[in-house]
Amino acid sequence: MTGSSQSAKDFFRPLAVGAPEPLREIPARPSRAIHFFDPSNEKMAAKVPDMVGTVDVLLGNLEDAIKADNKVAAREGLVEIAQGTSDLGGPDAPTQLWTRINALDSPWVLDDLTTLVPAIGDRLDVVMVPKVQGAEDIHYVDRILAQLEAKAGLDRPILVHAILETARGVANVEEICGASPRMQGLSLGPADLAADRRMKTTRVGGGHPGYLVREDPPRTGGTANLEATRATYQQDLWHYTIARMVDACAMHGIYPYYGPFGDIADVVACEDQFRNAFLLGCVGTWSLHPKQIAIANRVFSPSVEDVRHARRVVAAMGDGTGAVMLDGKMEDDASLKQCLVMVELAEQLAKIDPELEKQYAAIEVDDE
């Protein structure tokens, strides 16, 4: 968003002489799973080349979960991996390369940026910034990236992704999304956000059995039987924040993501959490373990059933105006627009995922 003393035109001018021009649209590149790896961990780093092409985004993590003693090794490891792995990162690569830098008040972040941009800026698609509090944090990163890009002679701007994981960040979510043309998206950071809000959970994302609603007691002759067994329904702790995040991102033409799901063994609850985010409008999620990549790829790709239905509605709606009845249900301009979101997403994913391409191509839509 432009401040009162700034012209709208200034927004799309580079912030440093010689820096690449800001993008006017954020490319809709598939990013169903953002798979985190620790570049200081040799075993993990060795697996990276084989993962290229199997996951939409590989993210070299430099922040939390990397021990203070390993911060330099992680940064240097990321440079080595990016320089030594073909097809990783850059506008045409099958797998994007992202990094999560250290927090802006940490002793490491300046070296993170001044090392990574000159060394691998041409491969780095997105820089994820943790613990973003307001537009001022994005402005800081925006300017420093422009200076470093100019110095490195880069011809394409590195995009910025903010993690929503402080109460102030949530309060300022719209201004964060609109703070720079570099803004690519937002992720929910449920672990830090819970701590910052002083929530009484002790987990990394997901639900909590204590956060529930209970059905009313049965009544006999107007008297409530409070001793009766009553069903309870667990509620989603993250619904409010994800919904705010989705609206803020949609308003600014950028992309919302769920974040970490720490219970790696509970693949069922993980899939549920991912699916809620997908249904609410998120385009992807983090993966903390290879088995979460498969879950994310499945959940964030429209099902064959949904694509079939969406294509039937598109076919039945003709010029896109008016209303039709399909299977006893009314479809109109608004449901057509929802269906187009699914059809377009399926088309994008089919281009990069041969298995999905086959499944979607096999869908037959009969005109009734």
Give the footprint of ligand GLV on this chain (CB under 6 A).
Answer: 64, 130, 163, 165, 189-192, 204, 259-260
- Report which of 26, 28, 25, 23 is spatially closest to residue 344, judged by C-alpha positions: 28
d(CA 200, CA 304): 40
Euclidean distance between the first and the last CA atom of the chain, given in angstroms as a whole number: 47
**In this complex, which beta carbon is closest to ligand GLV, that of residue 36 or of residue 360?**
36
Give which of Mg ion, ligand GLV, none residue 190 binds (C-beta under 5 to 8 Å, depending on kind). Answer: ligand GLV
Give which of Mg ion, ligand GLV, none residue 260 binds (C-beta under 5 to 8 Å, depending on kind). Answer: ligand GLV
User: Residue 364 CB, nearest distance to Mg ion (Å)?
Assistant: 46
User: Residue 238 CB, nearest distance to ligand GLV (Å)?
Assistant: 10
Give which of ligand GLV, Mg ion, none residue 259 binds (C-beta under 5 to 8 Å, depending on kind). Answer: ligand GLV
**In this complex, which beta carbon is closest to ligand GLV, that of residue 207 or of residue 260?**
260
Each residue 212-251 as x (binds Mg ion by CB under 5 A) or -, in order, gives ----------------------------------------
Interface residue with Mg ion among 169, 189, 190, 207 (CB under 5 A) is 189
Sheet of 159-164, strand order: 255-257, 183-188, 159-164, 124-129, 96-100, 57-61, 33-37, 285-287
User: Residue 52 CB, nearest distance to ligand GLV (Å)?
Assistant: 24
**In this complex, which beta carbon is closest to ligand GLV, that of residue 39 or of residue 130?**
130
Give which of Mg ion, ligand GLV, none residue 121 binds (C-beta under 5 to 8 Å, depending on kind). Answer: none
The interface with Mg ion within residues 137-176 (CB under 5 A) comprises 165
Interface residue with Mg ion among 137, 192, 331, 353 (CB under 5 A) is 192
Kindly report the number of other CB atoms within 10 A of residue 3's CB atom: 9
Asked if 77 interacts with Mg ion (CB under 5 A), we say no
Residue nearest to Mg ion (CB): 192
User: Residue 296 CB, nearest distance to ligand GLV (Å)?
Assistant: 16
Give which of Mg ion, ligand GLV, none residue 302 binds (C-beta under 5 to 8 Å, depending on kind). Answer: none
Asked if 133 interacts with Mg ion (CB under 5 A), we say no
**In this complex, which beta carbon is closest to ligand GLV, that of residue 30 or of residue 205?**
205
**In this complex, which beta carbon is closest to Mg ion, that of residue 189 or of residue 302?**
189
Give per-residue burial for 232-246: e unless 16+ CB within 10 Å, then b: eeeebbbeebbebbb
User: Residue 260 CB, nearest distance to ligand GLV (Å)?
Assistant: 5
Give which of ligand GLV, Mg ion, none residue 45 binds (C-beta under 5 to 8 Å, depending on kind). Answer: none
**In this complex, which beta carbon is closest to ligand GLV, that of residue 137 or of residue 149?**
137
**In this complex, which beta carbon is closest to ligand GLV, that of residue 36 or of residue 255?**
36
User: Residue 163 CB, nearest distance to Mg ion (Å)?
Assistant: 6
**In this complex, which beta carbon is closest to Mg ion, that of residue 115 or of residue 187?**
187
The interface with Mg ion within residues 4-43 (CB under 5 A) comprises none
Q: Which two tokens stand for residue 14?
A: 């580079």
Contact 179, 139 (CB under 8 A): yes
**In this complex, which beta carbon is closest to ligand GLV, that of residue 157 or of residue 190?**
190
The residues of the shown chain that bind Mg ion, judged by CB under 5 A, are 165, 189, 192
